[in-house]
Chains A and B, each alone.
Chain A
Amino acid sequence: GNSVTQMEGPVTLSEEAFLTINCTYTATGYPSLFWYVQYPGEGLQLLLKATKADDKGSNKGFEATYRKETTSFHLEKGSVQVSDSAVYFCALVTTGGTSYGKLTFGQGTILTVHP
């Protein structure tokens, strides 16, 4: 079956620090990979995605590269802001007849950024 493993959290950083949140996956088939973000009191929002090996997804200064050889999709940002404080979820879906509604999520990583 499909599974996603994220680095243990929570992560606490100072503003302007470099961020890495590790994500590795196991999938039957050829997955599309996603990062979702959940701000306090809000629903999950798609942050970025990548649909094939070596693709780089990017949005709002965040980046993640689809690494098939290491089955990884690590999230990075060069300089975090206080407003980036949220819970980050790595997720995948295996296509080929499976809808994008059936995502498999990691356990989430809580990020707190201090001024």
Chain B
Amino acid sequence: DAGVTQSPTHLIKTRGQQVTLRCSPKSGHDTVSWYQQALGQGPQFIFQYYEEEERQRGNFPDRFSGHQFPNYSSELNVNALLLGDSALYLCASSLGQFGEKLFFGSGTQLSVL
């Protein structure tokens, strides 16, 4: 039973570029949440997708957007990258929008130069 998988594992971009990160939820899960974890900090909630719609959003600018596909996989897009966007991006999946147990992927390490 595959857990949450994220791709790529590492990524290097330049300021001003755009990036797309991908997440496949654990088998049977239909809800995906995205988090940003800066070095030495705890994860910060970006947004959550359920039934292909953004259901909740944290305090992140519109440069951060997402999408959920019919197979429940999800993408996180970041436009106009800033140096401060360098972080580990985590995806978590659950069963249902109010599912209690989250399963996290290992993350995508994004470096913006």
Q: Which residues of A contact B (CB under 8 A)?
A: 4, 36, 41-46, 49, 89, 91, 98-108
Contact = CB atoms under 8 A, between A and B. Distances in A.
Interface residues of B, number: 29
15 contacts: A36-B104, A43-B90, A43-B106, A44-B43, A44-B104, A99-B31, A99-B94, A100-B99, A100-B102, A101-B33, A101-B56, A101-B102, A102-B48, A103-B45, A108-B42
Contacts of B101: 46, 100
A42 to B, nearest CB: 6
Contacts of A46: 101-102
Given A108-B41, A108-B42, A99 B48 contact: yes
- Most-contacted residue by chain B among A41, A42, A91, A102 (CB, 10 A): A102
Given A100-B100, A100-B102, 18 more contacts: A43-B103, A44-B43, A46-B101, A99-B48, A99-B50, A99-B94, A99-B98, A100-B99, A102-B33, A103-B45, A103-B102, A104-B45, A105-B42, A105-B43, A105-B44, A106-B42, A107-B42, A108-B40
